[in-house]
Amino acid sequence: MAKARVTFADVNVTVTVPVGVGIIEISEAVGSYIAYNCREGDCGTCMFEVLQGAENLSEPSRMEKNTLLFAFKEIIDGWRAIDDLDALQAKIKRENFAGKTCRLACQTQVFGDVNVAPLQF
Ligand code: FES
C-alpha cells in the first residue's frame, strides 16, 4: 500500500500514513491544533494552510470551494468591522492570505507528502 508523509508544523510532528487518509483524522491523531466542527465541509472551521505539497492532496470539491469562499468573505467582513487603522493593518498583516493555499481538513485526503499547519500558526 502506498504511503505519504504528513508534517504538522504547529506540533512539529511527521507521520507516515496510507494514501487516501483524511487530514482531519491525522490531525486528531497527532494532536495538531487544526480546529473542526461539522466534519461535513459545511462550517469552514477546519480551514488549514498547506505549506508544501498542495499537489499531493485531493482536489477540492465544489462544496469545499463554496465553503472556503464563504469563509474568506466572513474574514473580510471581520476586517471591514475594524474601525482603527493600526488594528486593521496589524490584523491584515497577521492574517495575510496572499500566497497561502487553504483547504478544509475534513474534506482533504493525502496522496503524497505534505506539510500543513493551522491557519493562525
Ligand atoms: S469541520 Fe466543518 S467544514 Fe470541516
Which of 40, 116, 119 has the most ligand 1 atoms within 8 A of CB, as the residue to mutate? 40
The per-residue pLDDT for range 35-79, each reduced to its tens digit, is 999 999 999 999 999 999 999 999 999 999 999 999 999 999 999
The per-residue pLDDT for range 71-115, each reduced to its tens digit, is 999 999 999 999 999 999 999 998 888 889 999 999 999 999 999
What domains, with CATH codes, occur in the chain? Answer: 3-118 (3.10.20.30)
**23 neighbors 6 (Cβ within 8 angstroms):** yes
Question: How far does residue 26's CA lie from ligand 1's centre (Å)?
Answer: 15
**114 neighbors 53 (Cβ within 8 angstroms):** yes
CA-based nearest residue to 47, from 30, 79, 24, 80: 24
